[in-house]
Structure 1
C-alpha cells in the first residue's frame, strides 16, 4: 500500500534522527537520563507551567494525576462521553467510577451547562465528584472559562486531558495549563510523537512530586530497593525523549501545515449544505485532526459514503470517537445525555490531517473529495 495516504502519520526526519543518534551515542539508553530532564523542562516552558513529568503514555498521566488527587474506590469522576476510551479507563484504574456527560454539538467538547446540572444533581444527592476530566477534543480546547468556575463552585478539581491538544490555546492560554494538572499524549499519530509516550504538566509541585514518585515504582530514596506502597513503571525512555525534543522544536511548523490543510477543507465544503467542520470557529486549535459533521438530509449524502469513496482511492479517513455511553465496557454507567455525541458519532468523519503530507498527496485528497461532491 505504498500509495496509501494515512490520517495522521508521524512527521519525522533528519532532526529527529540527529537527536536520537546523539542520545544513543551518549550511552543513556536506559529509561530516564538527560534527554528526559531536558524534554520535561522544554514542555513545561512551552505550556507555561512550572513542572512536567515525562511518562510512557498519556493514559499513565491521567492515571497518576487522579491518584495524586486522592481519587479511589467508591468515588465518581466526570468524563465527557465523546472521547477516546483512555480517559474513562484511567478513572477505572483508580477504582473510581466514570460518570459521562454529553458534548457541546458545535465543538464536541464537554458541555458546561450539562456539567453544572450534573454537579448540582450530585450535590442534592449528598455526593461530590472527585474530579472532572475535560478533553480538548481533536486539538481544540474545552471551554475552561465556563468549566473552571463551575468546578470551583462545587469544589471539584480539574484534570485536563490535553492528549490531542499540545500547541493549542484558549483565550491565549496554553492547552495543558488549565486545572490542577494537564496531560499530553505523544502516541504515533499525535501532533508530535515520541513513538509512544506522554507528559503530565502542572504548577502544583506536590502533585508533580507524587506523580514522579509513583511513576518510578514508588521506590523510596534509599540505597536498597524499598517500597512502602504500590507504584508503576510509567517513566519515558531517554531515547524516546530525544525524539520528542526534536519534535517540539518543529511543533509550530507542523501546526501551521495542519492549519493550511484545514483551510483547504473549509473552502472545499463552504458551499456544501449540511456540512460543517467541528469547532470551525476555533482559531487557537492545533488542528490535530480536521473533522466533518454531515447532516445527511440537508447534504444529500452521509459521511460514510465519503469515507468509502476515499478508501477506494487509498485515502484513510476515520469515524469520530464512539461515545463512552455506547461502549459495551461501560454499559450501565451513569450518564447525562442530550444526543449530541451520538449525532456527531453517526454523522462525523476525520479527514487526512498529517503535517507530513506533501503537495501531491494533498492534491489527491482534495481532488477525491471534489469528485465525490461533483457526483452529487
Structure 2
C-alpha cells in the first residue's frame, strides 16, 4: 500500500487572487469616504474605466458576470418558447443564464484547435432552428480561457440569420481579436471579476454596451426595478444585482495592475511551452496565435497514444505534489443538468475535455511556487520520456 504524500506547504492553486498594498489603499479610501452601501463614486469610476478599456460607450457594474448575461438575455427578449445558442465548451454559468430566463439553451460545438465556438456549426444550428420555426433570441460566444471567439466569422453568420450576439468575455479581459478588445463585441458583452479571474473584485461583473437605453434599462433592473418615487414603488420584478462601492474600489486598483498581471501569466505560459517543446504528443493549448490572449489559464493537450501517458496521469502526479490542475470545461451537453438538450456537435469539445489539463497560471504565484510547478512537471516528463 502506497503511503499518502506528505503535504508540508499550502496547495498551489490554478488562479488565486492577486491583491496587495494598492488594493488595501483603495478599499480603505472607499471606507473612509463613507460610501459603504452599494453604489457610490468608486462604482462610477470603475464603470468609466472599464468602458474605456473595452472600447465601449457604457458599462454597468454588477454582482457577477452571470448577472450580466442574465440581464442581457432578458433585455433581448429571452423567454420560454425561444432558444439561445451557447457553446458546449464553456463554464456552466453561460448556460445557466439562459435557463434563468426560461429560454432553451441549444449547444454548439467548438473549433478543435482553439476551443471557441465553431462558426460553421453555428450556421448549421441557426439554419436548423430557423427551418423548424424556433425563434432565437441570441447567440452567446464564449472567449475561452482568454482566447477571443472568431467574431469576424460569428458576426457574419449571425447577421445573415438576423440574430444578435451577446459576448461572454468573462475570461478574456485584456485580450483582443483583430485589434479590438475583448468586451467590445456584440450588442452586449459580459465580464467577470470572480476571485479566480484575470483581475478580481472578490465577486462581481460588468455589462458592456454602446446603447444608452440598454445601459439605463440594466441599471434599473439590477436595482430591484425601483420606480422614481419617494416610497418603494415597483411595477415589475427586478434584481439585486449591483456591485458595491467597496468592491469597485478593489476593481479600480486591480485595473491599474492588469497589464502587469497579464504579463506574469504570459511569462508562465512561455515556461510551460519551453518545457513541453519537443515532447511527443504534448502541446500547449491555444498556443498558435496567442499573442492577443490574456493567458488567463494555460492548458496542455496530451495525445496518450503518442505520449504514452494521459492527462489523468499528470493530474495525479501534480496532486501528489499538492499542485492543483483541472480538466478543460466538461461540455454542457455532457452535464446531467442538460441531459437531453439539443445540440449541433462534432466531438471536438469531447476530445478537448478528454485530453486537456489546465495548469497553475495565476499572477499571484511566487517564484518558489513557479519553480515547484515547473520542477514537478519536468520530473514527470523525464520519468515518462
TM-score > 0.5 by shorter chain = yes
- Which of 322, 326, 349 lines up with 1:318 in the alignment? 326
- Which of 210, 223, 237 lines up with 1:230 in the alignment? 237
1:47-62 matches, within 5 Å, as: 47-62=54-69
Counterparts of 2:69 and 2:244, CA distance in 1: 19
- Match of residue 265 from structure 1: 272
1:160-239 matches, within 5 Å, as: 160-239=167-246
1:98-109 matches, within 5 Å, as: 98-109=105-116
SS at match of 1:100: strand
- Match of residue 13 from structure 1: 20
RMSD of Structure 2 on Structure 1 (CA): 0.9
Aligned 8 A contact 1:69 1:207 in 2: no
For residues 303-357 of structure 1, the C-alpha deviation after alignment (integer angstroms, 9 at most, x for no partner) is 1111111111111111111110011110000011111111111111000000011
- Which of 54, 64, 79 lines up with 1:72 in the alignment? 79
Task: Tell me whether 1:308 sits opposite 2:316 in the alignment.
Answer: yes
Aligned 8 A contact 2:82 2:134 in 1: no
Aligned 8 A contact 2:175 2:294 in 1: yes
SS at match of 1:201: strand
SS at match of 1:225: coil
For residues 289-313 of structure 1, the C-alpha deviation after alignment (integer angstroms, 9 at most, x for no partner) is 0011111101111011111111111
Counterparts of 1:276 and 1:100, CA distance in 2: 27
- Match of residue 142 from structure 2: 135
For residues 124-164 of structure 1, the C-alpha deviation after alignment (integer angstroms, 9 at most, x for no partner) is 22333210000000011000010001001100000000011
Task: Tell me whether 1:40 sits opposite 2:50 in the alignment.
Answer: no
Counterparts of 1:157 and 1:278, CA distance in 2: 29
SS at match of 2:18: coil
- Match of residue 344 from structure 2: 336
Counterparts of 1:337 and 1:164, CA distance in 2: 23
SS at match of 1:130: strand
- Compute the displacement of 1:277 (Å): 1.8
Structure 2: 5+ residue runs without aligned partners?
A: 1-7
Counterparts of 2:215 and 2:286, CA distance in 1: 32
TM-score, with length taken from structure 2? 0.96
Counterparts of 1:64 and 1:278, CA distance in 2: 32
1:78-157 matches, within 5 Å, as: 78-157=85-164
Counterparts of 1:114 and 1:145, CA distance in 2: 15
Counterparts of 2:101 and 2:131, CA distance in 1: 25
- Match of residue 355 from structure 1: 363
Structure 1: 5+ residue runs without aligned partners?
A: none
SS at match of 2:136: coil
- Match of residue 4 from structure 2: none
- Compute the displacement of 1:208 (Å): 1.2
Aligned 8 A contact 1:119 1:128 in 2: no
- Compute the displacement of 1:359 (Å): 1.5
For residues 234-271 of structure 1, the C-alpha deviation after alignment (integer angstroms, 9 at most, x for no partner) is 00011011000000000000000000100111111111
- Compute the displacement of 1:2 (Å): 3.7
For residues 86-139 of structure 1, the C-alpha deviation after alignment (integer angstroms, 9 at most, x for no partner) is 000000101100000011010111011100111111222233321000000001
Counterparts of 1:175 and 1:246, CA distance in 2: 20
SS at match of 2:341: coil
